[in-house]
Structure 1
Amino acid sequence: MCFLGWTVTVTEELFYDIVNDYEVKRRKREQELEEQLKVEALRRKEELEERRREELRLQKTPGRSNAVSRNCSPARVPKMVAISQPRSASKVLFPSTPGRVPAKVARVQGDKGECSREPTMNTLSPAQARSNMREKREQLKKHVMEHGEKLRREEQERLRLKHVHEEHYCVQEIKTELDEMPSLGEELRRAEEEETNRLRKEEEDRRRLSDEERTKKKEQEARTLELLEAARKEEERRAEEERQRIREEQKIREQAEAEARERQRAEEEEAKLRLNVSCSAELLNRHLANVSLNTSTAHNRTSPNHSSYEMTPDKTYKPATENDYNIEDLSSGDETDSEPDLTLIFGKKKKYPRRGSSGIWESPISHPRQGVGAYQNRLNKRY
């Protein structure tokens, strides 16, 4: 292998030594990173514990403190006096309530030898405790996510380097002859060509997939348009059939109405004609009843004047048909109806006497019966 004018003979043992050395360094870096993370987490935990201890040391009951506190109302904060005696640190931190002796007196000695009264511990409220726990959880979650992201990036970098090593430097057989060993420049050029070919192939595959997707999309759109067009034509056909059916029904209904009107008009004309015929026959009968029956002399007598019309013929009574009951016969009202005796069919009805005024109303109380009453009969039966 030739690199910058130097000829290097790469053997299989040397290659695996390089790979193993890289793996050892990587594991060492990971262990150092884990140790640093553990130290950082321990330091943060100690700082948090120290801050909590300091807060507990400085806290006191709001009723016994002159310092502004979150648990103390602003109205209970004492006013600052211009002329006041300087107090010690312990008195400033933990002043006692005027006119009141503390229940327990104790002194706490700090790390630097300072003595102060034992502070009254202020228990955290549930909301503060939940807030502190929430902050802890968020910090821990953030730390875990950062650590996981960092490990993931390192793992990706390791896999990338391993892939590069496997792609460029892993060979099935390494020739020991110098003249058969390819130069580093040729390997790099071949690697670049392979990378270029791979990228070009990926680009072609991507372009082919995009073309196929566009073709499929166009085919799907065309199929959708065909379905919509078919649905529209089917809807138009159904609408046209519905309109045709409505027109046919309207035509049939109009034809039936016209036939009904024509039939009614014919029946009315026929009724009028029968009425005219019956009236003419009645008038003729009355005329014949009033005219003398001595027709022989009338026939023998010659009249100089001739009549301009013929004698009206006699009425011909047509028998009743299925639809004609000879209702227009004028003599039908002269006959008596032969109705049956309804009392024989339904029987006689019981007629109740009409009640008059209240003065003459007959009641059982006003007309008692002779004999023993029903109540007395019940008493006699019992006793």
Structure 2
Amino acid sequence: MTLRKGTPEVTETAAISLPSDRPTPFDPPAGLAGLREITRLTYADGHQGWLVTGYALVREVMADRRFSARAELQHMPFASAGPRQPAPPGMFISTDPPEHTRYRHLLTGEFTVRRMRLLSARIEEITGEHLDAMERQGPPADLVESFAVPIPAVAICELLGVPEEERGRFSAHAATLSRGDRPREEMVAAMTAMVAHMRELVAAKRARPGDDVLSGLTRSDLTDEELANIGFMLLGAGLDTTANMIALGTFLLLRRPDELAAARAHPEHTDRLVEELLRYLAITPFLVRTALEDVELGGELVRAGQTVTLSITSANRDPARFPDPDRFDPLRPPGGHVGFGHGVHQCLGQQLARVEMRAAFPALLARFPSLRPAVEPEQVPLRTDTPIYGLRALPVTWE
């Protein structure tokens, strides 16, 4: 609730910097352990804000419209981000209601149960095709390049209605953007080319609509600029996240023989495996929101204009919500993780991500029973300097 006149303020406590050193590739930064549910945080630009780690408080902020998702109001806890600009038209994940509501309503109508069901069968085909290609090529292989990135990339192409003859160009730019380790000039060039490609695709859909998301959106009052930006946003939100979940999830399973055996022995519980990977790994380590007014949160006073960093990794390991939270259990019953967020900004494409992961993991494990890393675990390159955590590559081999 908002603080009323006369509400006492708590004593000032020293601020910390956002912890980042992970003890293993699969665990939250060690510095997060033992923190209070809400802690003062010094941001990279010197801003004095807050870090929230408790599950209940993280959900509370996500559901409270007094906390804004607008990009231009946010400070980021890592130095490489730089000042943020207002979201371009269509980039609704960085907007607030009512603008966010307008876009969200239009897109929700396109992510129908029927479309996800039809796409599910196609994703199973796509998964099989890439496993066939890996088998023909033979070991070793980079699982990121050969499997983890292509599956969501092709799925996004199917969803947006990208013609098959244009998917090579589309996928090349998508692969560059998904890696995050390319020179800035190369990343900017790929982003510019992708947006231009989206504009061409929007024009084609207006001229000859099909049964895809972009075609459906052309029947609305959205402008070409809004449609192109929405397409680009769906690419970024749907490709990078799922690709890294598939890669990092496979790496985790290969490092845990007992849990891997349990996952293989119970393909009927793939849903549980997927939800536990989403909880345990939380590849979006944090989200940020900014207070639009003074708000009391967890006994602290968050001032208007202060940014709050929400630790998704800590929330998903909160012992107050999850029994034995630091144990990875592929058969754990689903329990309400916040890997897809919560509230009005909960991930619109979460069902698509689940469909892709439910197809990818059992098929991969069944096809290659002897799958294992081709290098020592410490040689697997991690993505630690991008908003989406994961792997840059995963060299694997098999008998």
Query: Structure 1 length normalisation: TM-score?
Result: 0.14
* Structure exhibiting the larger radius of gyration computed from Cα positions: 1
Query: Structure 2 length normalisation: TM-score?
Result: 0.13
Q: Judging by fraction of residues, say which structure has more strand.
A: 2
Q: Judging by fraction of residues, say which structure has more helix.
A: 1
- Which structure ranks higher in relative contact order (CA pairs < 8 Å, sequence separation ≥ 6)? 2
